[in-house]
A and B are shown apart, each in its own frame.
Chain A
């Protein structure tokens, strides 16, 4: 089958190897006989009908350049989510999927309110390796975080995982990321998907609308990378 992916602002939000995540989705889809059809969605573009949206991270300046355009797309994006499209938002993109982002100067950027959260910039960056326990999937996620924003989830909102090592959403709550239906947001880059193939496969499964998990692949290298990354998080995650 063809899996249509809408990559939001690849020219602006592609700082922490976001194209690595797309490459993983494409190759893992191809290994099961599916084809990933990725289209860029830029400033001023209409929101196309796709199965999966991807939005990555950017430096503050790039984030500012896209925030208002994204806000103008809020309604069609929310409709797409309601119709079952999956979303993966990383770092800056994660922040913009919440209601708002307030920078250190107090200036507020609008979000699209797809995830029940808001973000306030802090003065100290939270940088380092991270390991999450995602008990909803019986899996862990290993990655790297680098953010000044403190993301606060609304009461009752579901995080992506519990922090085993690292800072997480705000360095205090013990949780990282947010998920709501098929919408996932996280600070984890590294990039996220190469060393966490189960999560890539889950996104593909949801984009395909399948009830059954995809066929298993030989993930020896992925497991090795995950093990090294997890060990890094355990040894040095969550320290300034």
Chain B
């Protein structure tokens, strides 16, 4: 009976998803399985001959997991939830269609990690960062960290790979983890950003001192009072080169040797994503040179950093979803020369966060120097417009157009022929904008891509 259910659901995976059409259907069979027979997820995971690997983080998990997939694919047949369906149901759906796969590679929502870890019993666990994100949904940072700690302790035999630059995450792996981090102070910020989260010593509450702060609170920290500090790094990114929007490069240094990694993705945050994928690969005994080869042609996961040609104009789409991630998007844009026109889309569905206050914690101000027109859009367009108005942008240069499609057309109309329009959407706005662009034949829907 149980087996029959799994088989029936497995057969239905493709057709249900296609019927659902809007792309949200990819997790329906998994949701059913999760409801009807949750232990089936354990059994399906146990069938993978090489086991499973989990990837979790607040920021970059989809990109990091996609990079890891590119690296691991030459070695293993993978079961990978590449569409970003990263709750228990998404993992279950991927397992249902994992016929013939050897290794499971699952991106996991940070809130769902304990449950997924309990069921899947991964051989390796990559934990990359914890930022404040959607407090209305996840709760406070310490709460998520405490749940991660319990998950890690329940898996004493799993290989841990942690980001040592994040005080909370680095501390999870003390003594048993492969620790990675950035080691290039020439790319450090002079001070912590406003949105930095884990600023106070885990042990004693004293503010950390940073020898180098890279992204948000990620960096080389040390408590001046009790000495709690970044753990020694096993896998490092050194000699980083940032090339505006055109890409980035770094040297991946591992116990198994070094390799120069060239990326078409911009920004220090993508160096972190590649470094994390490289560290996970190191834990799975893959040579640094193979990592570099696999990442050379890597393109971003949909909507994260996407350039789409629309007639004689281009569209540059950068997902924003929380202060730390949005700050990096802004920093990358400004480093490449701030745009004159931007469409910024703020929705407040559950997947975006219903609490939109986070936009006030984003450092949008560096955009104001070059920005001539802001098209504010999405269901909370007016709120976003206020963010820029109170940052000092003249109100007559802010256009509020809640309809995403009309806002996109307005942005394109303001973009000269041959130019590129910058679009910064929240998650559901990104999906909706991609549907608009897809309906006009410019990109494939994401569930048809890969």
In the assembled complex, the Cα of A232 lies from the Cα of B200 at a distance in Å of: 35
Interface residues on A, range: 35 or more
In the assembled complex, the Cα of A210 lies from the Cα of B386 at a distance in Å of: 27
In the assembled complex, the Cα of A229 lies from the Cα of B387 at a distance in Å of: 15
Asked if A59 is at the interface (CB within 8 A of a chain B CB), the reply is yes
Asked whether A191 and B360 contact (CB < 8 A) given A225-B383, A232-B348, the answer is yes
Task: Give every chain B residue within 8 A of A222 (Cβ-Cβ).
Answer: 386
In the assembled complex, the Cα of A228 lies from the Cα of B359 at a distance in Å of: 16
Task: Give every chain B residue within 8 A of A17 (Cβ-Cβ).
Answer: 357-361
Asked if B406 is at the interface (CB within 8 A of a chain A CB), the reply is no
State whether A11 touches B386 (Cβ < 8 A). Answer: no
State whether B382 touches A225 (Cβ < 8 A). Answer: yes
State whether A228 touches B380 (Cβ < 8 A). Answer: yes
State whether B354 touches A128 (Cβ < 8 A). Answer: yes
In the assembled complex, the Cα of A14 lies from the Cα of B395 at a distance in Å of: 27
Task: Give every chain B residue within 8 A of A146 (Cβ-Cβ).
Answer: 135-136, 355
Task: Give every chain A residue within 8 A of B5 (Cβ-Cβ).
Answer: none
Asked if A51 is at the interface (CB within 8 A of a chain B CB), the reply is no
Q: How many residues of B contact A (CB 8 A)?
A: 35
Asked whether A144 and B395 contact (CB < 8 A) given A11-B207, A60-B142, A65-B205, the answer is no
Asked whether A20 and B360 contact (CB < 8 A) given A221-B389, A225-B382, the answer is yes
Asked if B212 is at the interface (CB within 8 A of a chain A CB), the reply is no
Asked if A23 is at the interface (CB within 8 A of a chain B CB), the reply is yes
State whether B357 touches A189 (Cβ < 8 A). Answer: yes
Asked if A190 is at the interface (CB within 8 A of a chain B CB), the reply is yes
Asked if B193 is at the interface (CB within 8 A of a chain A CB), the reply is no
State whether B199 touches A16 (Cβ < 8 A). Answer: no
State whether A15 touches B354 (Cβ < 8 A). Answer: no
Q: How many residue pairs between the two chains, A and B, have CB atoms under 8 Å in the bound complex?
A: 91
State whether B361 touches A61 (Cβ < 8 A). Answer: no
Could you mark each residue 134-146 of chain B with 1 if its beta carbon is under 8 Å from any beta carbon of chain A, else 0? 0110011110000
Question: Which residue of the partner chain B has the closest CB to A222?
Answer: B386
- Interface residue ranges of B351-406 to A (CB < 8 Å): 354-361, 379-380, 382-383, 385-387, 389-392, 395, 398, 400
Task: Give every chain A residue within 8 A of B355 (Cβ-Cβ).
Answer: 16, 127, 144, 146, 189-190
Asked if B61 is at the interface (CB within 8 A of a chain A CB), the reply is no
State whether A228 touches B387 (Cβ < 8 A). Answer: no
Asked if A195 is at the interface (CB within 8 A of a chain B CB), the reply is yes
In the assembled complex, the Cα of A224 lies from the Cα of B410 at a distance in Å of: 20
Task: Give every chain B residue within 8 A of A27 (Cβ-Cβ).
Answer: 390, 392
Asked if A62 is at the interface (CB within 8 A of a chain B CB), the reply is yes
Asked if A129 is at the interface (CB within 8 A of a chain B CB), the reply is yes
Contact of B199 among A11, A60, A195, A229 (CB under 8 A): A11
Question: Which residue of the partner chain A has the closest CB to B395?
Answer: A221
In the assembled complex, the Cα of A224 lies from the Cα of B142 at a distance in Å of: 35
Interchain nearest-CB distance for B348 vs A (Å): 7
- Interface residue ranges of A225-240 to B (CB < 8 Å): 225, 228-229, 232, 236
Asked if A125 is at the interface (CB within 8 A of a chain B CB), the reply is yes
In the assembled complex, the Cα of A108 lies from the Cα of B379 at a distance in Å of: 41
Asked if B435 is at the interface (CB within 8 A of a chain A CB), the reply is no
Asked if A111 is at the interface (CB within 8 A of a chain B CB), the reply is no
Task: Give every chain A residue within 8 A of B141 (Cβ-Cβ).
Answer: 59
State whether A221 touches B385 (Cβ < 8 A). Answer: yes
Asked if B253 is at the interface (CB within 8 A of a chain A CB), the reply is no
Interchain nearest-CB distance for B200 vs A (Å): 7
Task: Give every chain B residue within 8 A of A189 (Cβ-Cβ).
Answer: 355, 357
Interchain nearest-CB distance for A109 vs B (Å): 14
Asked whether A191 and B357 contact (CB < 8 A) given A62-B200, A146-B135, A228-B379, the answer is yes
- Having A20-B357, A146-B135, one finds 6 other A-B pairs with CB under 8 Å, namely A16-B355, A16-B357, A61-B205, A144-B355, A221-B400, A224-B400
Provide 26 A-B residue pairs closer than 8 Å at the C-beta atoms, listed in order of the A residue: A11-B199, A17-B357, A17-B360, A17-B361, A19-B194, A20-B360, A20-B387, A23-B360, A23-B390, A27-B390, A59-B140, A59-B141, A61-B200, A65-B200, A128-B354, A144-B355, A144-B356, A146-B135, A189-B357, A218-B395, A221-B385, A222-B386, A225-B382, A225-B383, A228-B382, A236-B354
Enumerate chain A interface residues (CB-CB to B < 8 A): 11, 14-17, 19-20, 23-24, 27, 59-62, 65, 125, 127-129, 144, 146, 189-191, 194-195, 218, 221-222, 224-225, 228-229, 232, 236
List the 10 closest A-B pairs by CB distance, nearest first.
A17-B360, A20-B360, A224-B382, A17-B357, A225-B382, A59-B140, A194-B386, A23-B390, A16-B357, A144-B355
